């Protein structure tokens, strides 16, 4: 059982290194310390105060193949956000400008997964709505082609009845002109 004095001693010993919600917002990482994170869900890292040097190793690419630059290193300042895919390994440490001391504060949040309804809706649009639109366009083009064909046949038939039409073979043959 933990007594109040023991609990406060544990909280104080952790407070000087990493603090779970810090006073302003988020987490706190003191200088000369590093933290390693490996999220199970896609997450985002937002620096809220200070600067941090972050190395990101993506799961299938191995070390040194991260985005940003060839080594997978990022320098993040206050207000910048880095999206971290699930399974990636992230190592972070404070990196303050010369003459500046202090911790880096950051906010770490798992991004909400896409709801199943949105996935179903996207699949429905891709698999049903798009082909339906394509079919409607094709049927409209067929209707327009049939209309032009009927108009052409009636027009040509009218010329045949009045005797003003030339047979198609002679109309297309350049030798009969």
What are the tens digits of pLDDT across the range 18-59?
444 444 557 888 888 899 989 988 899 999 988 999 998 876
Q: How far apart are CA 2 and CA 10, in angstroms?
A: 10
The domain 4-113 is classified under which CATH number: 2.70.170.10, 2.60.120.10, 3.90.1150.10, 1.10.150.130? 2.60.120.10
Asked if residues 24 and 78 have their Cβ atoms less than 8 Å apart, the reply is no
Residue 16, pLDDT > 60, answer no
Residue percentage of the chain with pLDDT more than 70: 66
pTM > 0.85: yes or no? no
Please name which of 135, 22, 43 lies closest in space to residue 89, comparing C-alpha atoms. Answer: 43
Q: What are phi and psi of 27, to 5 degrees?
A: -105, 165
Q: How far apart are CA 95 and CA 33, in angstroms?
A: 10
Q: Which tokens hold the place of 91?
A: 């190592």
What are the tens digits of pLDDT across the range 67-107?
445 568 899 999 999 999 888 899 999 987 777 778 889 99
Q: Which tokens hold the place of 71?
A: 């080594």
Q: How far apart are CA 136 and CA 132, in angstroms?
A: 6
| pLDDT, position 15 | 40
Contacts of 94 (CB under 8 A, 6+ apart): 29, 30, 31, 32, 33, 50, 51, 52, 53, 102, 103, 104
For residue 94, CA distances in Å to 18, 54, 88 come to 12, 9, 20
| pLDDT, position 4 | 39
């Amino acid at each position: 059982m933990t007594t109040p004095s023991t609990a406060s001693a544990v909280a104080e010993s952790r407070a000087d290194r990493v603090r779970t919600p810090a006073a302003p917002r988020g987490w706190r990482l003191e200088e000369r310390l590093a933290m390693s994170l490996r999220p199970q869900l896609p997450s985002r890292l937002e620096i809220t105060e200070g600067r941090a040097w972050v190395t990101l190793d993506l799961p299938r690419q191995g070390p040194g193949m991260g985005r940003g630059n060839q080594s997978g290193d990022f320098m993040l300042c206050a207000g910048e956000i880095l999206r971290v895919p699930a399974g990636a390994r992230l190592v972070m440490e404070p990196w303050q400008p010369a003459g500046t001391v202090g911790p880096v504060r950051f906010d770490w949040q798992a991004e909400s997964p896409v709801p199943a309804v949105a996935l179903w809706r996207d699949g429905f649009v891709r698999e049903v709505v798009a082909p339906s639109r394509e079919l409607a366009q094709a049927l409209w083009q067929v209707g327009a082609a049939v209309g032009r064909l009927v108009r052409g046949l009636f027009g040509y038939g009218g010329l045949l009845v009045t005797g003003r039409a030339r047979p198609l073979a002679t109309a297309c043959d350049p030798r009969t002109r």
